[in-house]
A and B are shown apart, each in its own frame.
Chain A
Amino acid sequence: MSLIEGRTGEWEIVIGLEVHAQVMSDAKLFSGASTAFGAEPNTQVSLVDAAMPGMLPVINGKCVEQAVRTGLGLKAKINLVSVFDRKNYFYPDLPQGYQISQFSDPIVGRGDVVLDMPDGSTRTVELTRIHLEQDAGKSVHDQDPGHTLIDLNRSGVALMEIVSEPDMRSAEEAAVYVTKLRSILRYLGTCDGNMEQGSLRCDANVSVRKPGGELGTRCEIKNLNSIRFLREAIQYEARRQIDVIEDGGTIAQETRLFDSDRGVTRTMRSKEEAHDYRYFPDPDLLPLTLTQDFVDRLKAELPELPDEKKARFMADLGLGEEDAGVLVAERAVAEYYEQVAEGRDGKIAANWVAGELFGALNRKGIDITETPVPAARLGGLIDLIADGTISNRIAKDVFEDMVETGRDAAAIVEDKGLKQVSDSGAIETVVDELIAGNQGQVDQFRGGNEKVLGWFVGQVMKATQGKANPKMVNEVLRKKLAG
């Protein structure tokens, strides 16, 4: 728990998050229009999404499955009966004049998310609930000074609202929580986690209190669309609240926006008339009922999730906590690593993936799915080291070549003639010449100056362009120098 220093002593931040995760589905929650990102305005809008008179919602079964899989992945309770309610309010990008959401009976109940903190400790954040709801359309405010432009392509896209308990105590924990949640959703394939495109948005409920004291009044900061903004917004907001209170003021419960340019939060200017959403069960939709068999089937089909994978990598492949953590964060990386490690030394494979490969990907600014070196080929390179065909040092050069050309390691070693020389005859010839031509160094060694051996090794390597098997070079030198 990290406390903030104030004039009147230390303060504790209390954070609860509402994450809106766009469900991965081809069609919208209640219509057959596409959910694809970036289309021309109003081209992915059904007459249902535009709330034309007499249009009716029909639920997309895939979205239901995705919500249930998400609940199962987060070890949460699945409610076999849930209800869709109407949340009534007026906004130009809300065509129906209400959002179809789940209020009293959500599809997923309590669950939890385990956070691995950088200091190696773990924290558990309890999930309150997950419910399905419709996204609203997009309002464009900056195109025209006097008007707002409305695009309904997003209108009706399925969202999962994932609500946490106020269990987080620092911006860092909040960031780790969202990162972990994102990782699990991506493993499940229920949300692509793309924050730039808005498929994952956070609302942060932030309050401050004296450590262990009773909860302070919270402010909700809406639509934080990057982890950096989430951190900055929470830090700013906590400090703001502490200053207000320490200056003798009180915190007004309100909705605030984060101004990422200025790094500050501000009250939403829109009239904060006391919200009265008049929730009631949507009479166009009957209760959503699931069978236990259906839930069990989805459970049986769940992929291995990061926590389990990490444990397995540590137990079966001998990886340390940190390497394992890095390798499981992204499903694609974990799968790549597992291919490389298949039938090889797990630690060596981990070093190559987390070291050389990540380095190369970073330099190229691409991610694992675009790697020029397929897992099988990196494995092939590691095999060449294992069987003594090339040395570790040569291997690094070969890898660079693979990154540039995408070629197979063996082929590169062949063409460039990088096979290491392990033929004692060849090495002895070189050593004999050296001894003959450097009597001085020979005498020093025989006089007991061990260091000179290193000089001899260097000379042999030079003569063989580094291809001589280091181990053999040492043996031959010692034998011959002993005279």
Chain B
Amino acid sequence: MAALTALTIAEARDGLASGAYSARDLASAHIEAMEAARALNAFVLETPERALADADASDARRKSGAAGPLDGVPLAIKDLFCTEGVRTTACSHILDEFVPPYESTVTANLRAAGAVMLGKTNMDQFAMGSSNETSHFGPVVNPWRRSGDNRPLVPGGSSGGSAAAVAARLCLGAAGTDTGGSIRQPAAFCGVVGMKPTYGRCSRWGIVAFASSLDQAGPMTRTVRDATIMLGAMAGFDKKDSTSADIATPNFEAALGQGVKGLKVGIPVEYRIDGIDDEIAALWDQGADWLRDAGAEIVDISLPRTKYALPTYYIIAPAEASSNLARYDGMRYGLREDADGLEDMYEATRGAGFGPEVRRRILIGAYVLSAGYYDAYYLKAQKVRKLIADEFAAAFGKVDAILTPTVPTAAFAQGDKIDDPLEMYLNDVLTVPASLAGLPAISLPAGLSGDGLPLGLHVITRAFDEDTLFRVAESLETAAGFTAAPGAIV
């Protein structure tokens, strides 16, 4: 059945429609693959019974002629999405064995579209991290290996389990979330497509909050077309989220096949930061050439405040997180440490429940919001954020899309950066600016490094112009013809 796990979502959709195989066949094949690949630690909770039940229900729907756009498609769900009756932990000890009595809007939308849930995927604790090493359930192993070097590599993060599962053919697609690059960076490290929609396109209701003004859910797939199909099912206005955009969800898939002729694509000179691998800089130029050859006009643009995006992000995100994570106090759900007295219980529970990186960010957040520091740090960051957003707005007066690399480097080895926070934060230097501006962005695999690791290209477009984003990504995907797959899955 291995063939079934190699399908794209679009192919599976056709195969299911033609009756070539059933949803149960697809689910069984993926459950098998999922169980065989446990060494990757991509899943923190496998839900095979649920998957088979979903699949049978899907086959029944199809017989009755009521199949949805994702009917019978086996997906993996990041453990940040609250799933009714299914343990949800954000991969933190502090949520302990929390079982939500509710379903997040995005996963509910996926279910309504007929998707089959295989399980909950591993991630950096509370989505804070770029290597999946901050997970309470241990690191995820990147299915890719450097040629001639068997050291386990990180899959990136925070959506590392989702990226690894898609790359290792353990699911046809996965739901991820992206706050500063948590979908796009792991997608680049694992050689898959990862897309972050415009802020407000997907509801945040029922997604464990990290940084409310930045968090967005998005699809992780093996092709751009699959991303359009999956996003179409995930997105939509939700009155339960005050920041959800009350705007119709277009048929993203319909945007494909139009090419990029006549589009203006900007190359921001400031993104050529030192620290970008030569191979990646070269791939970036290559990408520009591919788009030029496809009929796009390549324009140099300037985004001078780009270099301040990362420090801005590391004030705003921790500030919001320090408040968002205050609810994990051992009173109503999750971990509660024995203690003598209330104050002792708070400190013992939160001290034991949060990992080092989460603790670090909560403390940074509390610090930048505390009396006497608010203006100097938080308010200052909000102003710089405005300047960065304005800069993008100005750039999009000249161009329709912006092309950059996704990450300055390819996947690194476990343990390489976990002890150096700043070094780790630099992973997001190229993805964070679009997050601060709330813009849609996508990473797609466009080539391999000299030692055989996938490298990603990154496209950004105007708010709510996902159509153009997918058009440019498809054009790059076609030109790159990236077919490599990770070698031996462990």
Contact = CB atoms under 8 A, between A and B. Distances in A.
B327 A96 contact: yes
B102 interface: yes
Contacts of B248: none
A92 interface: yes
B88 interface: yes
A56 B95 contact: no
A280 B342 CA distance: 26
Contact of A276 (B101, B342, B370): B370
A7 interface: no
Contacts of B239: 58
Interface string A123-162: 0000000000000000000000000101000000000000
Nearest to B209: A54
Contacts of A97: 323, 325-327, 329
B327 A51 contact: yes
- Determine the main DSSP class of A at the interface with B: loop
Interface in A60-103: 86, 88, 90, 92, 95-98
Q: In the complex, which range does the number of interface residues on chain A fall in?
A: 20 to 34
Residue picked from B239, B325, B332, most chain A C-beta under 10 Å: B332
Given A52-B100, A53-B90, A276-B371, A59 B326 contact: no
Interface in B297-343: 319-320, 322-323, 325-327, 329, 331-333, 342-343
B212 interface: yes
A414 interface: no
Interface stretch (B38-46, B111-119, B200-208, B448-456): B200-208
Interface stretch (A178-186, A282-290, A323-331): A282-290
Contacts of A56: 204-205, 240-242
Interface string B84-106: 00001010000100101110100
A32 B69 CA distance: 32
A398 interface: no
Interface string B181-223: 0000000000000000000000011111101110000000000
A285 B213 CA distance: 10
Interface residues of B, number: 43
A86 B370 CA distance: 13
A97 B331 CA distance: 11
A47 B239 CA distance: 16
A57 to B, nearest CB: 7
B109 interface: no
A54 B326 contact: no
Nearest to B346: A90
Contacts of A54: 82, 100, 104, 204-209
A271 interface: yes
Contact of A285 (B82, B95, B242, B333): B242
Contacts of B240: 56, 58
Given A54-B104, A54-B209, A280-B378, A95 B327 contact: yes
Contacts, number: 95
B243 interface: yes
A351 B243 CA distance: 59
Nearest to B333: A52
A177 to B, nearest CB: 31
Residue picked from B88, B241, B327, most chain A C-beta under 10 Å: B327
A53 B242 contact: no
B95 A284 contact: no
Nearest to A274: B371
Contacts of B327: 51, 53, 95-97
A55 interface: yes
Contact of B102 (A52, A90, A279, A283): A52
Contacts of A279: 369, 374
A58 B203 CA distance: 13
Contacts of A148: 342
Given A47-B101, A53-B88, A56-B205, A278 B369 contact: yes
A286 B370 CA distance: 22
B366 interface: yes
Contacts of A98: 323, 326
Residue picked from A57, A92, A148, A283, most chain B C-beta under 10 Å: A283
A219 interface: no
Contacts of B212: 283-284
Contacts of A57: 242
Contacts of B100: 52-54
A50 interface: yes
Interface in A272-303: 276, 278-280, 283-286
B206 A284 contact: no
Interface string A239-279: 00000000000000000000000000000000100001011
Nearest to A281: B382
Nearest to A31: B240
A346 to B, nearest CB: 52
A86 B102 CA distance: 25
Contacts of B101: 47, 52
B326 A96 contact: yes
B98 to A, nearest CB: 7
Nearest to B213: A283
Contact of A58 (B98, B208, B242, B346): B242
Interface in B11-64: none
Contacts of A53: 82, 88, 90, 95, 98, 100, 208-209, 327
Residue picked from B95, B104, B240, B322, most chain A C-beta under 10 Å: B240
A68 to B, nearest CB: 19
Residue picked from B205, B211, B242, B346, most chain A C-beta under 10 Å: B242
Interface string A21-40: 00000000000000000000
A96 B243 CA distance: 19
A283 B378 CA distance: 13
Given A54-B209, A96-B326, A280 B374 contact: yes
A90 B374 contact: no
B259 to A, nearest CB: 38
Contacts of B374: 278-280
Contacts of A286: 242-243
Contact of B331 (A58, A92, A283): A92
B451 to A, nearest CB: 40
A150 B209 CA distance: 24
Contacts of B209: 53-54, 284
Contact of B370 (A90, A95, A278, A284): A278
Contacts of A90: 326, 329, 346
A58 B238 CA distance: 11
Residue picked from A52, A54, A92, most chain B C-beta under 10 Å: A54
B242 A284 contact: yes
A85 to B, nearest CB: 10
Contact of B323 (A59, A276, A280): A280
B319 to A, nearest CB: 6
B318 to A, nearest CB: 12
A88 B100 CA distance: 25
Contacts of A52: 82, 100-102, 333
Contacts of B205: 54-56
26 contacts: A50-B332, A51-B332, A52-B101, A53-B98, A53-B208, A54-B205, A54-B206, A54-B208, A54-B209, A55-B206, A56-B204, A56-B240, A58-B239, A58-B242, A90-B326, A92-B331, A96-B326, A96-B327, A97-B327, A148-B342, A276-B371, A278-B366, A278-B374, A280-B323, A280-B374, A283-B320
Interface of A: 47, 50-59, 86, 88, 90, 92, 95-98, 148, 150, 271, 276, 278-280, 283-286
Given A56-B241, A98-B323, A278-B323, 13 more contacts: A53-B95, A53-B100, A56-B242, A58-B239, A88-B322, A88-B326, A90-B326, A95-B332, A96-B326, A97-B323, A97-B325, A276-B371, A278-B374
Listed from nearest, the 6 A-B pairs whose CB atoms lie closest are A97-B326, A283-B212, A278-B369, A283-B213, A51-B327, A54-B206
